[in-house]
Structure 1
Amino acid sequence: DEILVASRSQNKLEIYGGVQNAVSTNATSLSLALASASEFTNAREVAVAGDKIVVTQDQSPSNANTNKLLVYQRSGSSLSLRNAYTVNFKTWGIAMEGTTLYAVADLTGDLLVFENFFNLPSGSIMPTKRVTIAGLVRTHGIAYAKSDDRMVLTDVGAAASDSDGGLIVINNFSSVINATPNGGTIALTNQVRVYGPLSTLGNPVDVAYDAVSQRIYVAERANMGGRLLTFALPTTTADTAPAAARLEPGISSVYVHRK
């Protein structure tokens, strides 16, 4: 019953409690239950695996232009920095599956895989595998569901455009990524793509996927000032309109939790 936030104003990992009660009572704020020390700046994303929480730090003058992955250990009422990794790509979205970390490389169309991630010693690290997603201009959002072995990625295209974004779905992801060598490319034939004016995707900066309802939720940052878009799982490549759209100015992240 908690929400984890990587705060870009406080430069801390923050945990807020009492979420269900806040929702049921239509509360306008949440209570801060726990926070880490200030050990990163310009955070982009968080991912959780058991009692471990991973935070991405994107390069900026505030951190000497250093891209990092930071691992925090949750133990009772404390959050402690367990590992800090420097990486040679601009960070944004990440997803954990067991001990494997999937990450996107901002400003590229690349996807990175770090196997046995939590066993890596602190310091500079390299991915187990880095592959290019054919036709993807600039990766940002990432979501993976083991239950149906499906990877969903977003493409923000040109940052200044509010109409050139897209969604990419890779079915049978484990087989596809295993068959793609390090430095290789995942071809268009292994993708189901949603692009075009009907999609209203411009800068889809984050994505969540519900494998039960087979719905994709997108934080669209640019189109109409920011909207939360809901898509039915696409089965063929097409320009598809969202099933639902909700104005949320400034939206930059989305997460789905199914009870």
Structure 2
Amino acid sequence: MNRHILSAFFLISAILFSGCTKDDNEPLPQSTVSRLYVSNADTDASVMSTVIFDPADGATLDNPDKFDTKLPDGNGIVFDAYSGTVFQVSRQAKNIRTFTVKTDGSLTQKASFIDDALTSAREIAFDRVRKTLYVASNSDSALYVYVGVDTIAGSARATKKLKLSGQPWGIHLQDDNLFVVMDQGRVEVQLFEKASSLQVGTVAPTKKITIAGAMRLHGITYSSARDALILTDIGAAASNSDGAIYIITGVAAKFTAGGPVTPTTIISGAATGLGNPVDVAWDTRIDKDLIYVAEKANKRILVFKFLDKNNVTPFRTATLSSSPEAIYLDAR
């Protein structure tokens, strides 16, 4: 074989094989999509389990698509852009389902399994490299870990159950580092580095911080590129007007130092519409920089600008007929 042809063959082979290799830092598939996936906590069968705003970054935030994913008391929802798969969990049915997202944004069910030992599913996070799904369960202070989740069907048990010190709610996975929000009086964010190596039983975080002035933390999102963390505080559960958003910058150094952290920015007050903000997502694109909030008590999706602070009116608002519990933003 001609050596130039042979060299070209090996070069093409190398590109093909390297393209199939997964790593934590592989860039996202290119797209101009901005979709907000919303999981509803309603148990009434007449209420659609899932709402999708497409696009989520338009001039208005209205007319969402609604899908009956048959997951009553929907909680965590996450989208994997590499496989085009949505994962969603029902707290009531202890059911985890996956869906394929078609090019028009509609959902088609792929797989489903039930873990009747899953006590109180809240937020979820997906590790695409290791095909692992993490599920926070608050009432039994545990993380349920499903390795090889794409092959599980029918009745199942978690591959690992990790016992925590505190009641987990929001979770966020960045590479192999898992951030876990602790509900109730702990007002704490725990960081588990090399989360995939955690073993069954009681586990301790590598690092942790507490949030000064917080009441009950729920939602979390993080950007390593911006070194910033965004949290939501639902305040008193019975109140629909005392919620808050906390923005914390310079996060890496603060986790290393540990101890109480005062938020860099706080968004709260009557004008914000924050009552029970249960989850948060962040469009980090420089020309967007928008914070999306699932406002459960007032049945709304609220959008703020990253530079907002204090008692500010939302940049955009969508009023729902359902109770949003968890959100995930796919913005590329």
- Rounded to whole Å, the distance in 1 between the matches of 2:143 and 2:109 is 24
Deviates more, 1:71-80 or 1:128-137: 71-80
Letter in 1 for 2:146: Y
Confirm or deny that 1:32 pairs with 2:109.
yes
- Rounded to whole Å, the distance in 1 between the matches of 2:206 and 2:150 is 32
Q: Is the 8 A contact 2:208 2:255 kept in 1?
A: no
- Rounded to whole Å, the distance in 1 between the matches of 2:88 and 2:241 is 29
- Map residues 15-94 of structure 1 onto 2, 5 A cutoff: 15-17=98-100, 19-21=101-103, 23=105, 30-38=107-115, 39-50=117-128, 51-59=131-139, 66-74=140-148, 77-78=151-152, 81-94=158-171
Structure 1 pair 199/76, CA: closer, same or farther in 2 (3 Å)?
Answer: closer
Q: Is the 8 A contact 2:221 2:282 kept in 1?
A: yes
Report the count of equivalent residues: 239
Structure 1 pair 7/142, CA: closer, same or farther in 2 (3 Å)?
Answer: same
Secondary structure at the aligned position of 1:175 is classed as helix
Q: CA deviation at 1:104?
A: 0.8
2:316 match: 244
Q: CA deviation at 1:147?
A: 2.1
Q: CA deviation at 1:97?
A: 1.1
Q: Is the 8 A contact 2:280 2:292 kept in 1?
A: yes
Letter in 1 for 2:97: E
- Rounded to whole Å, the distance in 1 between the matches of 2:218 and 2:164 is 16
- After superposition, the C-alpha distances for 1:235-258 in whole angstroms (9 at most, x for unaligned) are 5x4211111110123111111012
2:294 match: 219
Q: Is the 8 A contact 1:194 1:234 kept in 2?
A: no
Structure 1 pair 135/75, CA: closer, same or farther in 2 (3 Å)?
Answer: closer
Structure showing greater relative contact order (alpha-carbon pairs closer than 8 Å, 6 or more residues apart): 2
- Rounded to whole Å, the distance in 1 between the matches of 2:254 and 2:165 is 24
- Taking structure 1 as the reference length, the TM-score comes to 0.86
- Rounded to whole Å, the distance in 2 between the matches of 1:54 and 1:156 is 23
- Rounded to whole Å, the distance in 1 between the matches of 2:123 and 2:162 is 15
Structure 1 pair 56/217, CA: closer, same or farther in 2 (3 Å)?
Answer: same
Confirm or deny that 1:133 pairs with 2:133.
no
- Rounded to whole Å, the distance in 1 between the matches of 2:209 and 2:266 is 18
Q: Is the 8 A contact 2:274 2:295 kept in 1?
A: yes
Q: Which of 225, 240, 254 is the equivalent residue of 1:176?
A: 254
Return the index of the structure with the highest Cα Rg.
2
- Rounded to whole Å, the distance in 1 between the matches of 2:164 and 2:149 is 26
1:148 match: 226
- Rounded to whole Å, the distance in 2 between the matches of 1:119 and 1:245 is 41
1:121 match: 199
2:244 match: 166
- Rounded to whole Å, the distance in 2 between the matches of 1:160 and 1:9 is 21
For structure 2, the 5+ residue unaligned runs are 1-83
Q: CA deviation at 1:214?
A: 0.8
Q: Is the 8 A contact 1:147 1:211 kept in 2?
A: no
1:7 match: 90
Letter in 1 for 2:255: I
Secondary structure at the aligned position of 1:256 is classed as strand
Deviates more, 1:134-143 or 1:73-82: 73-82
Letter in 1 for 2:102: Q
Q: CA deviation at 1:143?
A: 0.4
- After superposition, the C-alpha distances for 1:160-200 in whole angstroms (9 at most, x for unaligned) are 1111001001112112222x32xx10124xx2110111111
Q: CA deviation at 1:77?
A: 3.8
- Rounded to whole Å, the distance in 1 between the matches of 2:317 and 2:102 is 24
